[in-house]
Amino acid sequence: MSNQFPIEPWVIMALVAVELAMLLLLIAAWWRIFEKAGEPGWAAIVPIYNGLVALKIAGKTMWWILLLLIPVVGIVFGFIVIVSIAKRFGKGVGFALGMIFLFPIFYPLLAWGEAQYNPRAA
C-alpha cells in the first residue's frame, strides 16, 4: 500500500507533538502572567474572558475587545495591548517585539522571570 501523502506519518506526529508542547508552555506562561498581575490564572484558558483579562492587565478599557475582533484592526490593537502588557511589567518595546515574534521564548521569560507587575506603569 503506497502512502498518498508526501510526508511520513511519524513526521506529522512529531510536528503535532511539538505544537502541543508549545501550546502547553504558552498556556502555563499566560496562567503565570495572569497570576503575577493579580488575576486568576484559570482565566488564561477561558476564551474571550482571557482577552478581557489581558485588556485589564494592559490598562485598556473593555470595549477594546470589539476592536480585537475586527480583521486587520485587531492585529494592530493586539500589538498595542502586548506592548502595554510589557510596559506594565517594566519591559520596553524591544521586549514586546520579542513577545510578538518570538513568543515561545519571551512569554516564559515574562512569566517566570524577575519582572513585577506595576498597574500604574504607562
DSSP letter string over the chain? ---SSSS-HHHHHHHHHHHHHHHHHHHHHHHHHHHHTTS-GGGGGSTTHHHHHHHHHHT--TTHHHHHTSTTHHHHHHHHHHHHHHHHTT--HHHHHHHHHSHHHHHHHHHHSS----TT--
Distance CA 115, CA 118 (A): 9
Distance CA 87, CA 7 (A): 43
Residue-wise pLDDT tens digits, 40-79: 999 999 999 999 999 999 999 999 999 999 999 999 999 9
In this prediction, residue 6 carries a pLDDT of 80
Counting residues of the chain whose pLDDT is more than 70, the rounded percentage is 96
Integer Rg of the chain from CA: 17
In this prediction, residue 3 carries a pLDDT of 63
Please check the confidence at residue 9 and state whether its pLDDT lies above 60: yes
Nearest-CA neighbor of 25 among 121, 81, 106, 86? 106
Residue-wise pLDDT tens digits, 77-95: 999 999 999 999 999 999 9
In this prediction, residue 115 carries a pLDDT of 95
Distance CA 20, CA 38 (A): 27
Please check the confidence at residue 8 and state whether its pLDDT lies above 90: no
